[in-house]
Chains A and B, each alone.
Chain A
């Protein structure tokens, strides 16, 4: 990066706190900064507080404390303006039972303030890009969950506001169209729109977001580019062992770090020099009948994610 030009505007959340009941914090001091053109991922386990966070941005919830600003405008004080500055795809299905697909997208664009002809052209473009031609004239009530999700996505970005907020857009979408969706999200970045993307799909997010934050229990536990978050894992490899059901857990050598236990799969990390020893150890478990299978691979953002969000769950 040579010299940085100051961005035309920024979106900033500062020390945001939200409690529904006055006791438990659903958001517990979250601070974020996003620039136009950035695709920002928001990751975290169920109940972490991601939806709570974005609902405050679009003015559906009032923060308990903290500030939310876009280009210097106070979104908390002026929720009407906030709704104009944010295009929002909620986590819940969009209510388009009695709309034809193209009607829903077009009308959403008009409601967002788009010109008739621009909106119409962009609707056809999105239907084409997301491979929805087959359903162009189908009523929402007759769509499958994934297609309805894609239509909701198209409705959100047909005339995008400066900040586009997508709460789990890839849910229920098949792998092929998920790829089209990610491409389209990347293009929003090229259009100088800022994107907040809530997702559980860590592997796909790793390839498509510019930066991300991992939220757990209302707090930001990590923030940065995918590669900066993986930096600590640079010389680590992942050794995954599928344990035989019903067998006692094996003792771990000191140089092997347990990361998570998912069902019968034990995920560990091992540094490069210890790899041969690690493979011997895993092979030994197979011979003893303690393990059924093992695999060695590069670490991914998912390992970082799992480590950061399941610390207490792993007894090592």
Chain B
């Protein structure tokens, strides 16, 4: 081998796909112990929400069941992308491994896409188990239709990008952790995800029209039920705006050199 001549600058689709493949392998290997645990936790929590609420409230009307089921799926997607992801990333910034990754000769977008695929893989078993639990435990008709595919992809992608964006944009990585904690609280307690927005105070309901969480729930509900989701087009539009803004912020903060 001789390096006396400088190799050509690697770029283009082949290089991107190569990097994407290798980086996905890197991420999977790096999280090989955490990944199965996270999957199990997602399965338990989505199934837990679906079945647990039935135990708590006895006989639920079918519409409540559908809200709960689709809400459990959405919460899982949001938690992984917006809460757990940034917690891992902030840990990596503190330990210095984020800097190691940043010095690797790969496009940042390929690395981020690898991260998204990982998030997607993490949530899939939880989605399936929530749907199975709902069908088996209650007498409800889920109507799974093709829009569930773009809906899941868009929600995971949007959630991942929002997570990556704030995980890198916030100067102090320890603050990232605090923000993630706060978001758990907002998502679980005060977002119209597993219940309709009418149950919230007006001001909070109108805030949620412009926050991404309710829209995420709407597009997922649209892919899993019939006629329960309203203003679906608007929800996609809100998500598209959030995703675009998050992509812009993420690429700015990932490309930033102090």
Contact = CB atoms under 8 A, between A and B. Distances in A.
A9 interface: yes
Interface residues of B, number: 35
B19 A95 contact: no
A250 interface: no
A84 B9 contact: yes
A8 interface: yes
A45 interface: no
A161 B105 contact: yes
A199 to B, nearest CB: 19
B217 interface: no
A79 interface: yes
Nearest to A114: B1
A162 interface: yes
Residue among A61, A70, A98 with the highest chain B CB neighbour number at 10 A: A98
Contact of A71 (B6, B22, B25): B6
Interface in B190-242: none
Interface string B243-254: 000000000000
A79 B254 CA distance: 12
Contact of B26 (A36, A107, A113, A161): A107
Given A90-B99, A191-B1, A70 B257 contact: no
A112 interface: yes
Given A9-B6, A107-B26, A60 B105 contact: no
Given A62-B258, A160-B3, A162-B3, A83 B31 contact: no
A302 to B, nearest CB: 30
Contacts of A161: 3, 7, 105
B105 A83 contact: yes
A192 B4 contact: yes
Contact of B6 (A80, A85, A95, A191): A85
Interface stretch (B51-59, B74-82, B89-97, B177-185): B89-97
Interface string A207-247: 00000000000000000000000000000000000000000
A95 B10 CA distance: 25
Contacts of B100: 90, 92, 94-95
A262 interface: no
A272 B10 CA distance: 58
Contacts of A84: 7, 9-10, 105
A81 interface: yes
A274 B221 CA distance: 92
Chain B interface, DSSP helix/strand/loop, else mixed: loop
Contacts of B26: 107, 111
Interface in A166-219: 191-193
B200 to A, nearest CB: 42
B6 A90 contact: no
Contacts of B4: 8-9, 36-37, 192
Nearest to A118: B1
A145 B225 CA distance: 55
A99 B29 CA distance: 6
Contact of B106 (A8, A36, A111, A192): A111
B257 A79 contact: yes
Contacts of B99: 60, 90, 92
A107 B10 contact: no
Contacts of B1: 191
Contacts of B30: 95, 97-99
A191 B3 CA distance: 7
Contact of A61 (B19, B31, B32, B258): B258
A126 interface: no
B140 interface: no
Task: Among B2, B3, B97, B258, find the residue whose CB has the most chain A CB atoms closer than 10 A.
Answer: B3
Contacts of A85: 6
Contacts of A20: 258
Given A110-B22, A111-B23, A161-B3, A103 B29 contact: yes
A156 B31 CA distance: 22
Nearest to A92: B96
A95 B9 contact: no
Interface string B1-21: 111111101100000001100
Interface string A17-28: 000100000000
A155 B7 CA distance: 19
Nearest to A109: B22
Interface of B: 1-7, 9-10, 18-19, 22-23, 25-26, 29-33, 92, 95-97, 99-107, 257-258
Q: Which 9 pairs of residues, A with B, have the shortest CB-CB distance? A: A95-B97, A62-B257, A192-B4, A92-B96, A84-B105, A83-B105, A71-B6, A162-B3, A111-B22
17 contacts: A8-B6, A9-B5, A60-B99, A79-B257, A83-B106, A84-B105, A85-B6, A93-B96, A95-B30, A95-B95, A95-B97, A98-B33, A99-B29, A107-B26, A111-B104, A111-B105, A161-B3
Given A8-B5, A59-B257, A83-B106, 18 more contacts: A9-B4, A20-B258, A36-B3, A62-B258, A71-B6, A84-B9, A95-B95, A95-B96, A95-B101, A97-B30, A107-B22, A107-B26, A111-B23, A111-B105, A113-B18, A160-B3, A161-B105, A191-B2
